[in-house]
A = this chain, B = another copy of it.
Amino acid sequence: MIPNEELTVEAVAQHLGITARTLHYYEEMGLIEPTCRTAGGHRLYDEKVVRKLEHIMRLKENLGYSLSEIRHLLDVETSLDGIRASLNNRDVSVDVRLRQLEDAKRSLQGLLSQIDGKLENLKSMQQRYQERLNRTETLLERLESQAVTTNEGK
């Protein structure tokens, strides 16, 4: 994959297994932006947006987040990056940055505790269904051997 390649909307959509409409919708919702447009107005994306979209899809599919919740999280992340980038900028007061950082911390902690909860739930479900599968497999083997002997008896 060539870096800085400019991808059309269909290219991105196909790569991610979604549709162009979804990209447009995410743009409407303020989740993504095309990196640039052609003279005629066609959208062009780059690798960075693709990674962001993969991130969005993980948040959706693994945590069941709504698009507005995802937007909030992305805002938190970019806010953090912004603070990091402007650390030696005297124009931003320390107080403002402290508030932003504490908001970000709370958001991240909330997210992490949700992830922890999901992990626990998933592990117990995994165990439960693994046991069920094991029982099913032993039962299946018993019935298979029974079917064989039945056929042999013919």
Chain A interface residues toward B at CB < 8 A: 58-59, 61-64, 77, 80, 83-84, 94-95, 97-98, 101-102, 104-105, 108-109, 111-112, 115-116, 118-119, 121-123, 125-126, 129-130, 132-133, 136-137, 139-140, 143-144, 146-147, 150
Of all chain B residues, the one with the shortest Cβ separation from A84 is B139
Contact A62 B94 (CB under 8 A): no
A103 → B minimal CB distance (Å):
10
How many of these chains are in the complex? 2
Judge whether B122 and A62 touch: CB under 8 Å. yes
Contact (Cβ within 8 A) A143 B101: yes
Residue of B nearest to A124 (CB): B58
B58 near A125 with CB under 8 A, answer: yes
Among candidates B122, B130, B147, residue contacting A98 with C-beta atoms closer than 8 Å: B147
Q: Does B112 contact A130, Cβ atoms closer than 8 Å?
A: yes
- Give the nearest-CB partner of A119 in chain B: B122
* Minimum CB–CB distance for A141 against chain B, Å: 10
CB-CB under 8 A from A140, the residues of chain B are 98, 101-102, 105
**In-complex Cβ contact of A123 among B98, B119, B139 (8 A):** B119
B143 touches A62 (CB 8 A): no
Asked whether, in the complex, the Cβ of B80 is within 8 Å of the Cβ of A125, the reply is no
Q: Which of B98, B108, B118, B150 contacts A129 (CB 8 A)?
A: B108
B133 with A105: CB separation less than 8 A: yes
Q: A102-B140, A105-B137, A118-B62 are in contact. Are A77 and B132 (CB under 8 A)?
A: yes
